[in-house]
Structure 1
Amino acid sequence: MTNYAVFLRGINVGGINLKMADLRAALATLPLGRTKTLLASGNVVCAFDGTAAKLKVMVETLLRERFGYDAWVVVTTAAQLDAIIAACPWPADDASTHSYVTLSSVPAVLDELARHGGEIAGVEFARLSPEAIAWPAKAGGTLDSPFSKLTARPRYKSTTTTRNLRTLLKCQEAMAAFA
């Protein structure tokens, strides 16, 4: 079985409320091992004997059928998550600046975000992998960050999700505990 991190897009914001206990119960119906939810923002670590693409479809279908909303997830392997975290040029624990990572299952979408981000004066970002772009935001100013505004466009809703680097570290720690 391969260890995966599954990041749900847009739950517990914008009117889509999902209790983690309900999510765990729903996920228990899938052929997953060592399933654990982290925080209330839709982070799941699990083991699955199949591809990331198959896991993505299974989880999205389950969420749509069980909870009745347009569900989108991004799935990474433990190795991909490790590489993304290691490549991030900004710290996870700076009190004045928060480090964010926008994840996507569609690298071409991140290519487009990078292209558009490069056109905005003063925007900092770093491509970490085919699945991830990192960007810093001043503490308390995340939603005002130009890159945050770019990633929040409706065009990217079905293919991206953003997490604080600290959240990715929690997922990494949870998967490391599987070993």
Structure 2
Amino acid sequence: MTRTLYLLCSAAPPVFDVAHVIEDAQARGWDVCLGLTPTAAHWLAGSLDGLAALTGHPVRWQYKLPGEPDVWPPADALLFAPATFNSINAWALGLTDRFVVGVAAEALGKGTPTVTMPCTNTALAAHPQFEQSLAILRTAGVDVRFGEGGFIPGPAGPDAPASFPWPIALDAVSA
């Protein structure tokens, strides 16, 4: 029996690996539906058709109009990764103006098993709201993979993280 995974991604450099992540998730038995923040969709604009073909579902970054059918099957689990500083804080505060944050917020109310792996740098992670947001999400039942056992942030700067532990995120979703 195939399970449905909602893979939600913010605009952080690891999003450029999303095709490989989808393939890995599919090899683990997941039917993947890909949701992106508007900026992540812009970054991947040239790949959106290929990603839709890979998943077999439309890639979404905007809310549907009232009365339009839902084009994704219901989720069995949700993975929000990479989740930026902005997305984590918006999610914890319930600010759902972006599609992926709204889907993640609803997943909490539906009891959908949810994992997130934030991707930020040490300067942003030091902001007091960030730790509060992570605590709120943990209290709501989200498996937050940040720090030891997840993504470990590096210093602020123009460089992308050396690596993003996608296998840890997919292992957590599968657990």
Do they superpose with TM above 0.5? no
Does 1 or 2 have the higher relative contact order (CA < 8 Å, sep 6+)?
Answer: 1
More helix, by proportion: 2
**Higher strand proportion, which one?**
1
- TM-score w.r.t. the length of structure 2 is 0.29
